[in-house]
Amino acid sequence: MRPRGATGIVAPMLSHHAQTKPGRFLVLAMISAALTAAGCRSEPAAESAPKPEASPAVGSGAAAEAAPPVILTAGFEPSTIAPGGTVTVLWRLLPAADWHLYWSGRNDSGFAPRVKLDLPPGWSAGPLQWPTPARYVSAGDILDHVYHGELVLLQEITVPRDEAPGRRVELRAAWQWLACRDSCVPGRDSLRVSVDLAAAAPIASDPSPALLAARARLPRPLPPDVVTTAWEGVVLHIRREGPDAGTAAGRMTFMPADDCGDLADLLHDGVGQSLALRLAPRDGQVGPVRGLLVLEGAAGPARSFVLDVPAARLAAVPVNDTPAGG
């Protein structure tokens, strides 16, 4: 019998190591299309807790009964909000031991968790905020960027100023993901969570340890004195600057975003004490180079930054107009 996804819908299992890249892309596309066509179910309501680490909303029904590879929960901070205010949602996806989930950037296989929110009229949601993933190479030189252990995604939801206070508002979220170990299993689940609307803004309080920890795992803007970048033809050179520029410095790792230019060989070019990223030219230019740059120090934890290098025009190749035999 084939394994079932988180909602009990029969889901195809994909070997994580035996697939070639083109074949695996095709199977993953079919999985994604099947999930989209099937839609997502509604779950019984679950109230948010005063702090996101206490009694969070949890996906239920078949997802909870079947003990799926991924457990979905959520929390809000603050738990009460006034019209015109913003609440931070902590979406938690906890894979079972040895399973992993995918980053939202470029991967050779798999797709990142995605959510469809059902918000009241006038409410708005910001983008998901993704922590730094780990570089993961599997058999067949398949390069992905993944999360092992709990994945916490932050998202800000804003309430319109003319929203009526003094009531409880229900928000719905339908999630899809692909979890992999030796094989890959698509899953989905839905949450219904409630937010209390107060007449006045609640008294400001310190962020919870859970929110602070989630923010600490987010990549930072790249300061101007950390690395230098320079184009040399179709190659982007990235070198350290400052006190970490010596030979004792740890390695750098580049993880491309979806809108990064065409990289020729990320598997070999994407890691080193300095980087020389080769790109395929297109329409007379190379780049841009966008993604995450992870810097390991000689001592202390690695640091992660957002890298955004604009595209560069390629110099025109001189034409030899000397007549033949002249």
For residue 288, cis peptide bond before it (omega within 30 degrees of 0): yes
- Which of 10-19, 38-47, 201-210, 255-264 comes out lowest in average pLDDT? 38-47
Sign of the dihedral through C-alpha 45, 46, 50, 51? negative
* CA–CA dist 56, 54 (Å, integer): 6
Q: How confident is the model at residue 23 (pLDDT cuts 50, 70, 90)?
A: very low
- Quick one: pLDDT at residue 65? 42
Cα-only R_g, the chain:
23
Who contacts 226 (Cβ-Cβ below 8 Å, separation ≥6)? Answer: 240, 241, 242, 244, 295, 305
Q: Which residue(s) pair with 21 in the sheet? A: none
Q: How confident is the model at residue 246 (pLDDT cuts 50, 70, 90)?
A: low
- Quick one: pLDDT at residue 244? 63
- Which of 13-22, 239-248, 258-267, 309-318 comes out lowest in average pLDDT? 13-22
Question: How far, in Å, are 266, 280, 315 from residue 284 at the CA level?
Answer: 21, 10, 8
The 10s digit of each residue's pLDDT in 99-144 is 999 999 999 999 999 999 999 999 999 999 999 999 999 999 999 9
Query: Bigger pLDDT: 22 or 233?
Result: 233
**Model-level pTM?**
0.78
pLDDT-above-70 percentage for the chain: 73
- Which of 63-77, 152-166, 172-186 comes out lowest in average pLDDT? 63-77
8-state DSSP, 318: P
Q: Which residue(s) pair with 254 in the sheet? A: 293
Is the per-residue pLDDT at 64 higher than 90? no
Question: How far, in Å, are 10, 100, 150, 217, 303 from residue 114 at the CA level?
Answer: 20, 15, 16, 19, 26
Question: Are the CB atoms for 273 and 251 separated by under 8 Å?
Answer: yes
Q: Mean pLDDT, the chain, as a whole number?
A: 80
* CA–CA dist 314, 110 (Å, integer): 33
- Quick one: pLDDT at residue 248? 60
- Quick one: pLDDT at residue 120? 93
* CA–CA dist 193, 58 (Å, integer): 9
Choose from 7-11, 26-30, 190-194, 259-263 the range with maximum mean pLDDT: 259-263
The 10s digit of each residue's pLDDT in 264-313 is 999 999 999 999 999 999 999 999 999 999 999 876 789 999 999 999 99
The three-point CA angle 177-180-185 to 5° equals: 60
Q: How confident is the model at residue 245 (pLDDT cuts 50, 70, 90)?
A: low
* CA–CA dist 1, 184 (Å, integer): 15
Closest CA to 93 of 141, 53, 153: 153
- Quick one: pLDDT at residue 247? 57
